[in-house]
C-alpha cells in the first residue's frame, strides 16, 4: 500500500522494492491495495509486469471527504475545523469505477501473472453507491472485491454512527458480501458479523504484524476458524508492518491466539496456518483452482527451502519449523509460473543493487522535506487525536 505524492518513477521503484522483499521472504503472489491516480496505477502494473511476480493490484478508491468517514457529532468540531478535512469535492462513483474498468481491461490476466481487483478503501470512506457499483463491476469481470474492514475500534463505532447498525450487516444489506470479497484486518467484529461473513463465504485477510504495530487490536482468529470462515494472511504495507515477510505473519498467526485461551485444542496448528498463507490466499485471487498448492494442472509457483539452514537442523517437522522459525534466510529458490525468478538468494528479474541505491537517494531527499510536510498536517492531527481519544473513551 502506497499513499502520498510520488513520481511515476518513484512508484515503479516502490514496486521493485516490494517484489524484492516479498520474493526473498518466499512469497509468490500478493495483492497491492494501492491508493493512486490512474497514471500511477498503470505505472505500477507496468512495473510488476517486468518482475515475473504474480501481482494483483486493487485500486484503493473512495468518494467521501475525510470527515464524512469519521463519527463526528455536530459539536465535535467547529465549522472551521471541519473545513480542514472536507476540502475538495469527491469524484462521482461512476467516474472512479470507469478508470478501474479501464485498468481491468488493459491488465487483468496480462502475461498470466497480473490481475486487477476492485478495491474500495473501506466501507466508511465509500458511499453506498460506490460499494454496490463496485460489486457490479467485480461481478461483470469476475474479479475480486478487496476492502479494509473494521481495523480499529473507532471504525466499528463509525459503522453504527453512519448506518445505525453493524458495518457487516450493512454490507450484507447492500448485497456486497460474496465469495469474491476479501476483508482485510477484520479485527473489531461481533459474533453476528462473523456469522454473516461465513454465510456469504467471504474471506478474512489476517494481518497480525500490522495490527500489533499500529495497536489496532488482535483479530478473533479462533472465532473465524470456529465459524469456518476462509482465512488468508497478509503483511499490509511496510510502513505499518515493517516489511513484506509472509513467514513472519505465519508465525504470529500461529502463536497470537494462545493468549486468548489456555485450551490448546483450539490453537491453530502450524499446518493450518500454512494453509492460510497458501490455499487461503489463493481464494482471495479467485484462483483456488490454479494456485495455492502443488497439484497436476496448477501453476508451477513454488519455493525451495534450504534444509541445511539452522532453522531446519535437525529436521523434525518441516512445516512446524517453517512456520515457527523461518525468517526468510532459508529461502533458496523461487519459481513463479514455471520461471525461476530467484536463485541462491538473488533475484533474476530485478537489479537489486540499483533499486536499493535509488531508493536510498529518494529517502535522503524526502528526509529533508519531512518536517515541512508534517507541519502541513499538524492541525489535522490534533483534531483527529481529539476525536480518537473521545470515541475510544466512549466505546471502551
The pLDDT tens digits of the residues spanning 302-329 come to: 999 999 999 999 999 999 999 999 999 9
- Is the C-alpha dihedral spanning 342, 348, 353, 356 positive or negative? negative
Higher pLDDT, 73 or 306: 306
At residue 199, does pLDDT exceed 50? yes
Three-state secondary structure call for residue 335: strand
Q: All 3 cell numbers of residue 259?
A: 493468549
Distance CA 5, CA 23 (A): 26
Q: What is the pLDDT of residue 367?
A: 82
What is the β-pairing status of strands 54-61 and 29-34? parallel
At residue 73, does pLDDT exceed 50? yes
Distance CA 70, CA 82 (A): 11
Contacts for 200 with CB less than 8 Å, ≥ 6 apart: 172, 177, 178, 179, 181
CA within 13 Å, CB half, 15: 33
Domains of the chain from N-terminus onward? 8-394 (3.20.20.140)
Distance CA 25, CA 300 (A): 18
Give the CA dihedral 388, 256, 236, 201, nearest 10 degrees. -100
Q: What is the pLDDT of residue 1?
A: 44
pLDDT per residue as tens digits for the range 361-373 = 988 888 888 888 7
Contacts for 371 with CB less than 8 Å, ≥ 6 apart: none
Which residue, chain included where needed, has cell 502494473? 45
> Do 89 and 123 form a contact (C-beta atoms < 8 A)?
no
Cβ burial, residue 367 (10 Å; 0-12/13-18/19+) = exposed
Q: All 3 cell numbers of residue 76?
A: 465535535
> Do 119 and 41 form a contact (C-beta atoms < 8 A)?
no
Q: All 3 cell numbers of residue 33?
A: 491495495
Distance CA 68, CA 57 (A): 26
- Interval 124-139 mean pLDDT: 98
End-to-end CA distance of the chain: 29
Q: What is the pLDDT of residue 242?
A: 67
- Rg over CA atoms, the chain: 21
Mean pLDDT taken over the chain:
92
pLDDT per residue as tens digits for the range 233-282 = 999 877 776 678 899 999 999 999 999 899 999 999 999 999 999 999 99
Whole-angstrom CA distances from 113 to 243, 300, 352 are 22, 12, 21
Distance CA 7, CA 194 (A): 40
Contacts for 142 with CB less than 8 Å, ≥ 6 apart: 180, 286
Distance CA 36, CA 282 (A): 25
> Do 12 and 32 form a contact (C-beta atoms < 8 A)?
no
DSSP 188: S
List beta partners, residue 55.
Answer: 30, 114
Amino acid at each position: 500500500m502506497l499513499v502520498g505524492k510520488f513520481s511515476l518513477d518513484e512508484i515503479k521503484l516502490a514496486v521493485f522494492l516490494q517484489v524484492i522483499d516479498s520474493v526473498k521472504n518466499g512469497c509468490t503472489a500478493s495483492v497491492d491495495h494501492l491508493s493512486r491516480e490512474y497514471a500511477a496505477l498503470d505505472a505500477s502494473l507496468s512495473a510488476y509486469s517486468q518482475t515475473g511476480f504474480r501481482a494483483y493490484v486493487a485500486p484503493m478508491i473512495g468518494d467521501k471527504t475525510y470527515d464524512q468517514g469519521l463519527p463526528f457529532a455536530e459539536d465535535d468540531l467547529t465549522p472551521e475545523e471541519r473545513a480542514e478535512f472536507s476540502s475538495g469535492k469527491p469524484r462521482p462513483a461512476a467516474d472512479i469505477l470507469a478508470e478501474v474498468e479501464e485498468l481491468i481491461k488493459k491488465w487483468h490476466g496480462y502475461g498470466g501473472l497480473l490481475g486487477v481487483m476492485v478495491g474500495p478503501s473501506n466501507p466508511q470512506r465509500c458511499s453506498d453507491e460506490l460499494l454496490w457499483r463496485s460489486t457490479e463491476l467485480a461481478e461483470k469481470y469476475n474479479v475480486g472485491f478487496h476492502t479494509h474492514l473494521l481495523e480499529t475500534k473507532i471504525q466499528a463505532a463509525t459503522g453504527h454512527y453512519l448506518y445505525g447498525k453493524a458495518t457487516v450487516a450493512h454490507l450484507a444489506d447492500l448485497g456486497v458480501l460474496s465469495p469474491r470479497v476479501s476483508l482485510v484486518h477484520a479485527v473489531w467484529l461481533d459474533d453476528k458479523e462473523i456469522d454473516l461473513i461465513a454465510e456469504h463465504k467471504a474471506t478474512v485477510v489476517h494481518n497480525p504484524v500490522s495490527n500489533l504495530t499500529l495497536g489496532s487490536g488482535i483479530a478473533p482468529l479462533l472465532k473465524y476458524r470456529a465459524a469456518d470462515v476462509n482465512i488468508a494472511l497478509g503483511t499490509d504495507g511496510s510502513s505499518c508492518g515493517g516489511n513484506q515477510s509472509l513467514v513472519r505473519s505465519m508465525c504470529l498467526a500461529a502463536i497470537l491466539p494462545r493468549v486468548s485461551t489456555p485450551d490448546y485444542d483450539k490453537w491453530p496448528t502450524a499446518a493450518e496456518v500454512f494453509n492460510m498463507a497458501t490455499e487461503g490466499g489463493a481464494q482471495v485471487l479467485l484462483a483456488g483452482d490454479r494456485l495455492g498448492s502443488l497439484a497436476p494442472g496448477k501453476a508451477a509457483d513454488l519455493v525451495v527451502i534450504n534444509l541445511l539452514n539452522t532453522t531446519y537442523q535437525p529436521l523434525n517437522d518441516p512445516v512446524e519449523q517453517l512456520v515457527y522459525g523461518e525468517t526468510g534466510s532459508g529461502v533458496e529458490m523461487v519459481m513463479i509460473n514455471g520461471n525461476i525468478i530467484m536463485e541462491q538468494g538473488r533475484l533474476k528479474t530485478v537489479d537489486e543493487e540499483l533499486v536499493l541505491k535509488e531508493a536510498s537517494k529518494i529517502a535522503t531527499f524526502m528526509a529533508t522535506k519531512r518536517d515541512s510536510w508534517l507541519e502541513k498536517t499538524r492541525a489535522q492531527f490534533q483534531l483527529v487525536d481529539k476525536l480518537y481519544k473521545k470515541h475510544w473513551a466512549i466505546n471502551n
